[in-house]
């Protein structure tokens, strides 16, 4: 629960001010480009900043301190945004907010990898992404009601300041350090379970004990060698980015990124479209996001029930041997091929044909039902596919793709919608969804072969 509170900050801080955009434009005399940049650049920094946070986390073997430090940065930026009187200063402070909030994805993913086994990570990552998904849905709802207060749009940033300070306090008091030293875990978990004491280690007549002792010496020597090598190195902020050169990580990151980017694009389009098309005010726009929230809840529950069970079923069919690609479970294909494109098409064409506002709300909810299953399952896949010591880095690589694609789509969406209409734009998003299904199919069929060719299949086997 403590981690879940922390995770939500990324999502709701990205959208909480959406209902107040008209008030921001009026009070700060802001051009439309500035308010668009405030949303898109925020997402862009959410993609780049995790690279830094994850590199620091994995190199220095820390989680807890980074949570507190990043939330202090988030709270200070939120305080500045609440007091600012210039639109471009607000854009800059939104970048500071994004850098602070960006730690939630990679550090949170690293913590779950520390705490849960392979067989439990599907459900665990489902809860993680539920927090990330509910944020963008709850954010506009809270922001809508805050905007009608006396403080108008500034109340949303005061709320962010208070929330960030609250997370710092909770992390300081309740959250322990969780970093999993994989070499130490190798000693404790991977060697034979024979009880080993100082007396048994020196007993020459017991061959099993000799074998276990030799194994311990080998692992300890390897661990000391790694530590000595690490002391000679400096933290490499590009290390998470370099993981994208692994084809299976790149393709799954692109598939997950397309899912997120499509969802975030509708997230940014919903507010202005509903204000213009249906004459909704701020709090009504906020309530319109609740349909997507229901979709995320149902999607996370469905994936949590299916992901780990289907993984264990696949493992049982091959005699207990684990394959990382088992995490790409059968429920993901309807999400890519039916729910995501179907929801997007319902959203776009119902607005284009002047149908009731319930139709796009339901369409958005259907899309989110598919997106939540895709991203939570692939988040667990990333942690399974790479050594546990790189869990934060690989999650940062996946988040990087999602946020960069989200920034690009959200920036280009308004002119494209104006040019071709929301209906045909939804066809474009549906096509991207079907394309991402093809990328995932390549990994499903060839992922193990790719990992063996690259020489890190043994590392993932050790993780099991």
Show the tokens assigned to 91: 């854009």
Provide the pLDDT for residue 121. 64
Residue in this structure with the two tokens 């809860």, named with its chain if needed: 127
Q: Where are the domains of the chain?
A: 2-181+237-462
Consecutive 10-residue runs of the chain (464 residues): their mean pLDDT?
Answer: 68 80 84 77 82 80 86 94 91 92 78 71 65 71 82 90 90 76 44 38 43 48 51 62 84 92 87 87 81 84 77 78 80 93 96 94 94 84 73 76 85 90 96 94 87 62 45
The rounded distance, in Å, linking the Cα atoms of 327 and 314 is 9
Q: What is the DSSP letter of 53?
A: H
For residues 369 and 371, what is the distance between their CA atoms, to the nearest angstrom?
Answer: 6
pLDDT of residue 105: 72
Helix 121-147 and helix 290-317, axial crossing angle in degrees, nearest 10: 180
Sequence-distant (6+) residues with CB within 8 A of 459 are 386, 387
| 41 Cβ contact list (under 8 Å, min separation 6) | 91, 94, 95, 98, 407
Helix and strand numbers (H, E) in the chain are 21, 0
CATH number of 2-181+237-462: 1.20.1250.20
* C-alpha span between 211 and 99 (Å, rounded): 49
Task: Judge whether 263 and 339 are in contact, CB under 8 Å.
Answer: no
Handedness of CA 105, 109, 112, 118 (dihedral sign): positive
Buried b (16+ CB within 10 A) or exposed e, 211-238: ebbebbeebeeebeeeeeeeeeeeeeee
Maximum Cα–Cα distance for the chain, whole Å? 85
Looking from the CA of 247 toward its CB, the CA atoms found within 13 Å total 17
| Cβ contact 124:112 at 8 Å | yes
What are the backbone dihedrals phi and psi of residue 103, each rounded to the nearest 5 degrees, phi first? -70, -20
- Judge contact between 428 and 416, C-beta under 8 A: yes
Q: For 202, phi and psi rounded to 5 degrees?
A: -90, 5
Q: How far apart are CA 61 and CA 367, in angstroms?
A: 37
Per-residue model confidence (pLDDT) at position 232:
46
Tell me 175's DSSP state: P
Check if the beta carbon of residue 53 is closer than 8 Å to that of residue 103: yes
Q: What local confidence, expressed as pLDDT, does residue 186 receive?
A: 42
């Amino acid at each position: 629960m403590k981690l879940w509170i922390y995770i939500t900050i990324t999502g709701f801080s990205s959208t909480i001010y959406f209902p107040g955009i008209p008030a921001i434009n009026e009070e700060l005399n802001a051009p439309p480009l500035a308010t668009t940049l405030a949303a898109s650049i925020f997402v862009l920094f959410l993609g780049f900043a995790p690279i830094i946070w994850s590199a620091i986390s994995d190199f220095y073997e820390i989680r807890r301190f980074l949570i507190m430090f990043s939330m202090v940065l988030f709270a200070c930026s939120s305080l500045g945004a609440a007091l600012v009187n210039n639109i471009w200063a607000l854009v800059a402070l939104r970048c500071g907010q994004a850098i602070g909030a960006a730690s939630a994805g990679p550090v949170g993913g690293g913590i779950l990898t520390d705490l849960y086994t392979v067989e439990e990570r599907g459900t665990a990552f489902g809860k993680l992404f539920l927090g990330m998904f509910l944020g963008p849905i709850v954010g506009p709802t809270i922001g809508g009601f805050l905007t009608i207060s006396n403080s108008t749009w500034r109340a949303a940033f005061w709320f962010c300041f208070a929330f960030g300070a609250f997370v710092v306090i909770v992390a300081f008091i309740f959250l322990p350090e969780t970093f999993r030293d994989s070499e130490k875990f190798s000693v404790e978990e991977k060697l034979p379970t024979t009880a080993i004491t100082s007396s048994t280690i020196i007993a020459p007549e017991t061959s099993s004990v000799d074998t276990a002792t030799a194994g311990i010496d080998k692992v300890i020597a390897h661990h000391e060698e790694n530590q000595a090598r690490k002391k000679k190195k400096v933290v490499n902020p590009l290390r998470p980015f370099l993981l994208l050169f692994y084809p299976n990580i790149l393709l799954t990151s692109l598939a997950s990124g397309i899912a997120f980017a499509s969802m975030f694009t509708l997230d940014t389009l919903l507010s202005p479209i509903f204000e213009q098309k249906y004459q909704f005010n701020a709090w009504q726009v906020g309530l319109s996001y609740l349909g997507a929230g229901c979709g995320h809840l149902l999607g996370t529950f469905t994936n949590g029930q299916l992901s780990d069970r289907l993984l264990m079923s696949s493992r049982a069919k091959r005699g207990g041997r684990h394959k990382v690609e088992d995490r790409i479970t059968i429920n993901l294909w309807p999400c890519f091929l039916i729910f995501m494109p179907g929801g997007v098409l319902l959203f776009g064409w119902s607005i284009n044909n002047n149908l009731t506002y319930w139709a796009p709300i339901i369409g958005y909810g259907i899309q989110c039902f598919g997106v939540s299953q895709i991203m939570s399952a692939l988040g667990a896949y990333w942690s399974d596919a790479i050594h546990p010591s790189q869990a934060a880095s690989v999650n940062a690589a996946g988040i990087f793709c999602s946020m960069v694609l989200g920034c690009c789509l959200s920036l280009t969406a308004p002119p494209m919608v104006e040019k071709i209409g929301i209906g045909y734009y939804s066809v474009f998003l549906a096509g991207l969804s079907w394309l991402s299904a093809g990328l995932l199919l390549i990994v499903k069929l060839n992922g193990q072969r790719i990992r063996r060719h690259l020489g890190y299949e043994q590392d993932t086997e050790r993780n099991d």
